Structure 1
Amino acid sequence: MSETAGISTGIAARYATAVFEIAKEGKAIKSLESDVAALDSAIAESSDLRTLLTSPLYSREEQSAAMTAVAQKMALSDTTSNVLALLASKRRLFVLPQLLAVLEGMLADERGEVTAEVTTAKKLTKTQADKLAKTLKAQMGNDVTIKETVDESIIGGLIVKVGSKMIDTSIASKLNALQNTMKEVG
């Protein structure tokens, strides 16, 4: 991890903790959940928003005005809108993706859920995702939310990460292991 990424994560964790505590005290966890999901999908879908978050070309005022407009358009809660305004005024909008990731983890913990990051070669069907979630729930003892990523380079199989545990059944890793074994023999 680069030093900048570590700093961003640290900043994001402090802001996320504060936002989560404010939402919990105000009994606004549900609205925080919907705000986090909405912002997460907006960042994923909008290259303009991603540029606004990371580009040094925008002034504080431009970033503040844009984030205020985004918050109003998305009908975000006051808490989330205030955090976005604060991040813009401090020129820390670049930490928003990490902040959302930390908040997602905190919200999942609050619900008693565990998030499994699953990488597949092809998108899982609803049946496959449900079966995987059921299997992981039996192993973990908690409800499991699947966050799926498609990466065709793994050829087939799955890579499942839950917390610090990782299960790699991808064909690409098996081929690499076979290649390494053959190098040792020859």
Structure 2
Amino acid sequence: MKGNTMIAQVVEPYAGALMTLAQETNKVEAFAENCRALLSLFQESAEFRSFVMNPLVKAEDKKGVLQGVCGQDVDAYFLNFLFLLVDRRRIVFLEGICQEFVALQRKLNNIVLADVTSAQPLTTDQEAAIADQVKQMTGANAVELNISTDADLIGGVVIKVGSKVFDASLRGQLRRISMDLLGSN
């Protein structure tokens, strides 16, 4: 627990500073997309993750790789922020900083993140229907869906928004029926 607190003490101020810079330069959405791209890269490439996290790699080498990964499309302010993280030896927190920045961007724009687990892959229409339902339930301007599949659900979906869980899975219905039957004895 103490480690998470220490990480938060580093991640939150840097993410907040990046948000301030993004707002001052009217580039919140662009920075959020940059952060999402980096988060995706962290998920897809263990090699990239270990390179960035490695304290033995020289700062100039890290800057060169970051510049190469980001390419010409990344805003100079964002790239300079990444270089600042390298110089201050805070680049190991990049993933957390990007996650926190995206969370701040969602809050700023009243966007809700819904974790959706379904028994089978969802169609585009089903995704849109779920997003509309979550919008109505939360009053959010928009909804981002984080979709995964779990065959153990048998059928239906489980939707988690923050601490609220809406279980419309067949497994959940069977569990509720079982609890009702056991409770009525």
Q: TM-score, normalised by structure 2?
A: 0.80
2:128 to 127, 130, 152: 130
- The 1:68–1:130 alpha-carbon spacing in structure 2 relative to 1, beyond 3 Å, is same
Per the alignment, residue 40 of structure 1 pairs with 39
- The 1:99–1:152 alpha-carbon spacing in structure 2 relative to 1, beyond 3 Å, is farther
Distance in 1 between residues matched to 2:56 and 2:77, nearest whole Å:
27
Q: SS at the partner of 2:100?
A: helix
Paired letter, 2:30 = S
1:181 CA drift (Å): 9.0
5+ unaligned residues in a row in structure 2: which ranges? Answer: none
Q: SS at the partner of 2:143?
A: strand
Per the alignment, residue 102 of structure 2 pairs with 104
5+ unaligned residues in a row in structure 1: which ranges? Answer: none
Per the alignment, residue 23 of structure 2 pairs with 24
Per the alignment, residue 115 of structure 1 pairs with 113
Paired letter, 1:110 = L
Tell me how many residue pairs correspond in the alignment. Answer: 184
- The 1:134–1:183 alpha-carbon spacing in structure 2 relative to 1, beyond 3 Å, is closer
- The 1:90–1:179 alpha-carbon spacing in structure 2 relative to 1, beyond 3 Å, is farther
Are the counterparts in 2 of residues 121 and 154 from structure 1 also a CA contact under 8 Å? yes
Per the alignment, residue 53 of structure 1 pairs with 52
Per the alignment, residue 14 of structure 1 pairs with 13
Distance in 2 between residues matched to 1:58 and 1:169, nearest whole Å:
48
Paired letter, 2:157 = L
Amino-acid identity (%): 25
1:127 CA drift (Å): 0.8
Q: TM-score, normalised by structure 1?
A: 0.80
Distance in 2 between residues matched to 1:56 and 1:32, nearest whole Å:
26
Per the alignment, residue 4 of structure 1 pairs with 3
Distance in 2 between residues matched to 1:41 and 1:172, nearest whole Å:
31
1:165 CA drift (Å): 1.8
Paired letter, 2:159 = V
